[in-house]
Structure 1
Amino acid sequence: MSGAAVRVLRLGLRPYGEAVRAQQRCAAAARAGAAEALVLSEPAAPVYAWGLRGAPEAAAAARLRARGAALAAARRGGLLTFHGPGQLLALPVLDLRRRRLPLRAYVAALEAAALGLCRRLGLAAARALPPPYTGVWLGDCKLCAIGVHCAQHITSHGLALNCCTDLAWFEHIVPCGLEGRGVTSLSRALGRHVPVDAVLEPFLDAFREVFGCALVFAEEPPAAGGDCEIKTV
């Protein structure tokens, strides 16, 4: 894969929509020839988000709002899932044409980066499943969800990895539309509290290894606009 530098934007605790909009500014800049980017964030508040395959029905949406969560539509693959505090959002902006990566191979590379983090933390049992499943799993429980979008060869959205997420939020939905499957977190799997800040460096090491890139750090995303791919409803 390409050895070109990837610009890393560490947003910290931010609203989900703000992180996605920061990624969209990076994507618009990349389509105009700027460097690739990786946006890292922890959602500041609970949000249920769905991809191109469909929104929850009105009654279900009302029940989720009543629990204190926001709802958001995002232009990515995948069904309804949860984003919230204690979760690492990793949103890469990569040029798949330059990297000569088909979309499915890109998804596999994201899985490999999350698995690399798990190995660094001692979770040897973490695994990826064959298509059509995506993400990273521990037994029958999903640890890391993946949903991506690609326009003009530039990626957006990415992965959401549960570090110390309150997993009770997932009980009110069928995460990613997968009946009979559970959800877990690094904290539950390791039997200790694992905050998002504690996994940033090992995740970046794994990302660098998988994508064969140098990483440089930035304070803010580009100011350029671009089509926003999230709508709060």
Structure 2
Amino acid sequence: MSRCVAVRVLRLGAVPYAEALRVQERCVAAARAALPAETVVLSEPAQPVYTWGLRGAPGAAAAAALRARGAALVAARRGGHITFHGPGQLLAFPVLDLRRRRLPLRAYVAGLEALVVRLCRRLGLGTARALPPPFTGVWMGDSKLCAIGVHCRNHITSHGLALNCCTDLTWFEHIVPCGLEGKGVTSLSHELGQHVAVSHVLEPFLDSFQEVFDCTLVSSEDPGD
């Protein structure tokens, strides 16, 4: 694919998870209306929230216990089990047209994994890797660094990935992250031994995105563009 394909970048900063979802849905509606611009929505969750995908919500008692810890609970239209989103985490929601890109869904997920692996190498984490299906995401050993859960309807993607930068990992201790028993969770800060804020990884993330998805990125400040 030629680099003449433009992808808008919406940097929301630290916002509630629900707000990032609303912006994403406006971008999805525009894409389904055949407007030409694809979009990647970037944000950092401003408050702790547990979300789950198509494989089931937590039971009533488990949900009450999570709320008691001060987290919100939100159902998401993506694949996967329950996971955590919160401050110190980069959320990326690409809204791409896979039919126009002639890209199968599994290849798209592999592309998301590949861009995070590239990002990790840029930061000095050469052992970051993707695992074969049915595992998804990017891993450091047996610990997941980046979770991936996507949705695709009428060839338009939504949701995407959550990369732990300086996330408080203790929030994951109250769930089985992504439904994977016996696996851990890690962050860039933990692996690099220094504080890595979301703002520190935005530019290398976008460089990696541009390389993997072979596009030109165009910054936009207006979600309604």
Interval of TM-score (by shorter of Structure 1 and Structure 2): over 0.9
CA–CA distance in structure 1, aligned partners of residues 91 and 211 of structure 2: 19
- Secondary structure, aligned partner of 2:112: helix
- Secondary structure, aligned partner of 2:120: helix
Alignment length (residue pairs): 223
Structure-2 residue corresponding to 1:160: 162
- Secondary structure, aligned partner of 1:206: helix
What TM-score comes out, normalization by structure 1 length?
Answer: 0.94
- Secondary structure, aligned partner of 1:192: coil
CA–CA distance in structure 1, aligned partners of residues 116 and 44 of structure 2: 16
Alignment deviations for residues 20-54 of structure 1 (CA, whole Å, 9 cap, x no partner): 11011001101112210000000000000000110
Aligned AA (2:39): A
CA–CA distance in structure 2, aligned partners of residues 119 and 90 of structure 1: 19
CA–CA distance in structure 2, aligned partners of residues 197 and 123 of structure 1: 18
Aligned AA (2:6): A
- The answer to whether residue 58 in structure 2 is matched with residue 26 in structure 1 is no
Structure-2 residue corresponding to 1:68: 70
- Secondary structure, aligned partner of 2:57: coil
CA–CA distance in structure 2, aligned partners of residues 138 and 152 of structure 1: 34
Shift, 1:118, TM fit: 0.3
Structure-2 residue corresponding to 1:120: 122
Structure 1: which 5+ runs fail to align?
A: 224-233
For 1:144, which of 143, 146, 151 is the aligned residue?
146
Structure ranking higher on relative contact order (CA contacts 8 Å, 6+ apart): 1
CA–CA distance in structure 1, aligned partners of residues 27 and 223 of structure 2: 6
Aligned AA (1:208): Q
Equivalent pair of 1:29/1:222 in contact (CA under 8 Å) = no
Shift, 1:222, TM fit: 2.1
- The answer to whether residue 47 in structure 2 is matched with residue 45 in structure 1 is yes
CA–CA distance in structure 2, aligned partners of residues 95 and 9 of structure 1: 17
Aligned AA (1:12): G
Q: 1:2 to 1:171 in 2, by over 3 A?
A: farther
Structure-1 residue corresponding to 2:213: 211
- The answer to whether residue 104 in structure 2 is matched with residue 97 in structure 1 is no
Equivalent pair of 1:163/1:187 in contact (CA under 8 Å) = yes
- The answer to whether residue 184 in structure 2 is matched with residue 182 in structure 1 is yes
Aligned AA (2:214): G
Equivalent pair of 1:2/1:99 in contact (CA under 8 Å) = no
Aligned AA (1:26): C
CA–CA distance in structure 1, aligned partners of residues 148 and 141 of structure 2: 17
Equivalent pair of 1:40/1:90 in contact (CA under 8 Å) = yes
Give me the CA root mean square deviation: 0.8
CA–CA distance in structure 2, aligned partners of residues 151 and 23 of structure 1: 14
CA–CA distance in structure 2, aligned partners of residues 175 and 207 of structure 1: 25
Shift, 1:2, TM fit: 5.0
CA–CA distance in structure 2, aligned partners of residues 116 and 41 of structure 1: 20
What TM-score comes out, normalization by structure 2 length?
Answer: 0.98
Moved over 2 A (4+): none
CA–CA distance in structure 2, aligned partners of residues 139 and 158 of structure 1: 22
